[in-house]
Amino acid sequence: MKATRRVLAFDEFGPLEIRPHHGVSWAKHQQVKRLPATYKRPHGTRYLLAAYDLQADCLWGWQRPNQRWPQVLAFLKGVRRRYPAHIRLYIILDNRKSHKTRDVRKWVRQHNIRLMFTPNYCSWLNPIECQFTALRKFALSTRYFENHIQQGCAIQAYMRYRNRTKVTPKVRHRDIRVNLL
C-alpha cells in the first residue's frame, strides 16, 4: 500500500549576507587566517526558503531576496510539484504573517495541503531548525564569499551532500567531518 500523505517542515533561514563567517579551522602555529572586518552590505541580503521531508530525510531550498507571501507561495507551489496530487502534504511551519495570508491559505486548500503551525515563540519545535544548524556549520562557517551566487552554490552543495549521505545514529560526529573534507 502506497503512502497517501507526507510530512514536511518549512522555514526561512537568514538573512544571508556577504560577510565573513567566523568558525573554527586548523592553522599552522602563528599563521591564523584572519577574516576582514566589513561594515557595509553593498550586496544586500538573501533568505533561504527551505523544506525538509521527514520520511525521505531530504532537504532542499531556494535563495530569494525576501521572504514575503509571494515568495512563500511560489516555494509551496514548487513543493507541491515534487509530489503527486493525490498525496496529502502536511507542512509544519511557524506563525509568520506571510504564511497565513488569504492567497496562501486559498491555494493550499485547493491543492491538498494542510499547514500545521507551531505554537507562538516555539519555532524550535519545527524539525527543520536542527538542519539549519548543520547547514550553518558546514556550508557557511569560516567562509567569506564574494557574492550571493557563490554563497548559494556552497549551500546547494551542502544540501546535495547531506541528501546523498544518510547519517545513521551509529555514525559519530568525527566520521562526518572526515567525509566532508
The whole-number pLDDT of residue 146 equals 83
What is the pLDDT, as a whole number, of residue 177?
A: 44
The whole-angstrom separation of Cα 167 and Cα 158 is 14
pLDDT at 75: 96
Residue 29 is given by DSSP the state T
Classified as helix, coil or strand, 154 is: helix
- CA angle, residues 109, 112, 113, in degrees to nearest 5: 75
Query: Which pLDDT does position 103 carry in this prediction?
Result: 96
| Local mean pLDDT, 10-residue blocks, the chain (181 residues) | 83 84 62 62 84 93 92 96 95 93 96 94 90 89 84 93 76 46 39
Confidence (pLDDT) at 144:
79
Q: Residues 111, 28: contact at Cβ < 8 Å?
A: no
0.85 exceeded by pTM: no
Give the domains, in start order, of the chain with CATH numbers. 5-17+41-180 (3.30.420.10)
